[in-house]
Structure 1
Amino acid sequence: MSDTTKCFGAVRCGRCAEFARRARRRWWAGQLAHVASAQDGVVSRRQLAALGVPRWEITSALRGERWARPGPQTIAIHTGPPSAQALWWSAIFEIGGDAALDGSTALRAAGLSGFDDVLHVSVPKSWHPRRARGVVVHETRRRKPDDLEEIGLPRTRPPVAAVRAALWARSDRQAATILAMSVQQGLTTAEAIAEAFATVRRDRRRRFIATILPDLAKGAQSIGELDFAQLCRDYGLPEPDRQTRRRGPDGTWYLDTDWTRYDAVVEIEGVHHLGADQALSDASRQNELTIGHSRVLRIPVIGLRVAPDHYMSQVARLLRSAGWPG
């Protein structure tokens, strides 16, 4: 009797059993590659179980150093160094449940550059998350279903993440910086941030953020002539001349804050000044003013909100260096 004939019985022959095992392995290996490629090479143990990957296969791959284990709940199907995206996925797997990247980490996942911070993950209030090394877990009552991106890496939407990042920041200065960078880099808008912030009822930094939002809503382009003049009065400095005209090689400039008597200029700069085109224009204008022997200070508008003592002290020193007797 042939092997094929034997397989019509209740007990399959060894050849067919091996064929079925290899077919199952090809299936889950293909599915695993697909899942891992979408998660930058890492998967959770739960995902492996759902795909039908036998435990002995996992143990064998780990012992053979074909796979690696970044955490108790995470398996990397390679042994190279993990990317930032892989670390984010691993944090989600390790914390478990409804964990999602939040705050500055969610902003980085959305494309924020130039801002380093610890890894932040949020979970709903009263959830009992697992802990993971290097991950700060926040339990929040503010989590709503539409706070999260619908597909891909679980993370809060940029306006929500920006508000949370500001609330969790180490200082007011850092809070203002992260809000300004989120708008300047095009991750969200001031209006969307204000809408997300409206859900915050109580927080120690709520009042401070409320003072920053109008600057963002106006494009944070200027603290305003009257506002800066009031600061000068508050700090015992002479008020600047307003809307003075300077002639440059490229045309006429109008300076909002200029002390003509002392040939001193303060440029109040909003987040739009961080853009490449505006930065080039600002540099050219400052160079021309310097060539013309003007003394020039450049102060970020957010800086005046966060650290007025520091920047107004610089204004006073500028005026003294220019001959002001105060």
Structure 2
Amino acid sequence: MPAKGHAPRPRQEREVRRAAVRDVGEAQGGVVSRDQLRAAGITGHEVAAHLRAGRWRAVHTQSVAVHTGPLPYVGELWAAVFEAGDRGCLDGSSALIASGLQHYTEDTIRVSVPRGVLVRRAPGLDVRQTRRLRPEDLAAHGIPRTRSDVAGVRAALWARSDKQAALLITMSVQQGLTTAERLGAQAVKVRRDRRRMLVTTVVADLLGGVRSLGEHEFARECRRRGLPEPSRQAVRRSRDGRWYLDVCWDQWGVVVEIDGIQHEWATNLVSDALRHNAVTLDRAVVLRLPLLGLRVAADEFFAQIIEALVGRGCPMPVAS
């Protein structure tokens, strides 16, 4: 400590500034922006000295890692935002990941900036201008990013495939990042996009229209493939009560259960398992068809259904 009445020596001042920078970096995955460094009183010469000495390392052009270890993903996210400038924010699937989306990764970090803002390019970053960026769309706390309901719809619109789009919407609800109602409110704002109908349909599934919507689509797919008309909502009775089957072909003992998102929830696991077992004990083949599968892998699932029907003696043409 300096003697009473004496100003801190330059070396002590530098240590205080470095400690303050480390504190900021701890909350940002070890990354600080060059603006934050200047605000902390770190000069350009000091930054250059730390970089030359290997104590710090540059991340893109607008930020610095204030440690020498591996950069965690949260640090990469902060560096991406810093590269976009003070008006940039994570968007789409990157915003969902920053909000806690699990079991999903992306090779590229998506950042949105308003129209007219300078766009910097860097490896692994996709910085794009957009007219859709509004202050009310941003999360209130944490790394700058769009809210999960906004990000979920945009992630679906920007996804590489319909399958990925449907998965992102479904996962954001399953993992509690947002609700189907909030996604629906954002989906209706989309005026023109090739995935507008897909997004609306998946959100409708999540809102609870699974049974009628899923069975309607299933019946349409059966007719398109030349399958015999199945029975719908067939009733089976057991010692424990009644079981309602989504669709079945009684003559050949084939049952298809169409699972919506609610079948993933713990409250339904027991009743679903009991129903499945009861029907199986009745010597029927029970196939599960997730509604998401009907959206993104219908051909593969119907190939299994046709195999089950043919294997039980159903005379029918091969699906076209």
Q: TM-score range by the shorter chain?
A: 0.7 to 0.9
* Residue 149 (structure 1) aligns with: 139
The answer on whether the counterparts of 2:120 and 2:127 sit within 8 Å (CA) in structure 1 is: no
- 1:188 paired residue among 169, 175, 178: 178
Question: What is the 5 A alignment of 1:64-83?
Answer: 64-83=53-72
* Residue 260 (structure 2) aligns with: 270
How many pairs does the alignment contain?
A: 312
- 1:243 paired residue among 223, 227, 233: 233
d(CA) in 2 for partners of 1:244 and 1:164? 39
* Residue 20 (structure 2) aligns with: 31
Q: Does 1:319 align with 2:315?
A: no
TM-score normalised to the size of structure 1?
0.86
Per mean C-alpha deviation after superposition, the further-off stretch among 271-280 and 120-129 is 271-280
TM-score normalised to the size of structure 2?
0.87
Cα distance, 1:278 vs structure 2: 3.6
Per mean C-alpha deviation after superposition, the further-off stretch among 126-135 and 243-252 is 243-252
d(CA) in 2 for partners of 1:46 and 1:147? 25
- 1:198 paired residue among 163, 188, 194: 188
Structure 2 letter corresponding to 1:263: G
- 1:44 paired residue among 30, 33, 41: 33
- 1:297 paired residue among 284, 287, 304: 287
Q: 1:34 to 1:250 in 2, by over 3 A?
A: farther
Equivalent position SS for 2:145: coil
Runs of 4+ off more than 6 Å: none
Cα distance, 1:206 vs structure 2: 1.8
CA deviations over 1:46-73 (Å, ceiling 9, x no partner): 1101110133332332233222223222
Equivalent position SS for 1:223: helix
Structure 2 letter corresponding to 1:197: A
d(CA) in 1 for partners of 2:101 and 2:48? 38
d(CA) in 2 for partners of 1:70 and 1:285? 55
Equivalent position SS for 1:242: strand
Equivalent position SS for 2:256: strand
Q: 1:280 to 1:54 in 2, by over 3 A?
A: farther
Structure 2 letter corresponding to 1:142: R
CA deviations over 1:172-206 (Å, ceiling 9, x no partner): 11111111111111111111111112222222222
Structure 2 letter corresponding to 1:28: R
Equivalent position SS for 2:232: coil
The answer on whether the counterparts of 1:28 and 1:51 sit within 8 Å (CA) in structure 2 is: yes
Cα distance, 1:145 vs structure 2: 0.6
d(CA) in 1 for partners of 2:226 and 2:218? 12
Q: Does 1:114 align with 2:96?
A: no
Q: Does 1:215 align with 2:166?
A: no
d(CA) in 2 for partners of 1:28 and 1:222? 63
d(CA) in 1 for partners of 2:255 and 2:213? 15
Cα distance, 1:237 vs structure 2: 1.2
Structure 1 letter corresponding to 2:60: G
Cα distance, 1:22 vs structure 2: 4.1
- 1:136 paired residue among 126, 131, 145: 126
Equivalent position SS for 2:235: strand
Q: 1:167 to 1:317 in 2, by over 3 A?
A: same
Structure 1 letter corresponding to 2:162: D
Equivalent position SS for 2:120: coil
The answer on whether the counterparts of 2:215 and 2:258 sit within 8 Å (CA) in structure 1 is: no
* Residue 53 (structure 1) aligns with: 42
d(CA) in 2 for partners of 1:219 and 1:98? 39
The answer on whether the counterparts of 1:221 and 1:272 sit within 8 Å (CA) in structure 2 is: no
CA deviations over 1:88-139 (Å, ceiling 9, x no partner): 0011112224111111111111111122223211111222211111112222
Q: 1:276 to 1:82 in 2, by over 3 A?
A: farther
Question: What is the 5 A alignment of 1:220-239?
Answer: 220=210, 223-239=213-229
Equivalent position SS for 1:238: coil
The answer on whether the counterparts of 1:100 and 1:123 sit within 8 Å (CA) in structure 2 is: yes
Q: Is the radius of gyration larger for structure 1 or structure 2?
A: 1
Structure 1 letter corresponding to 2:176: G
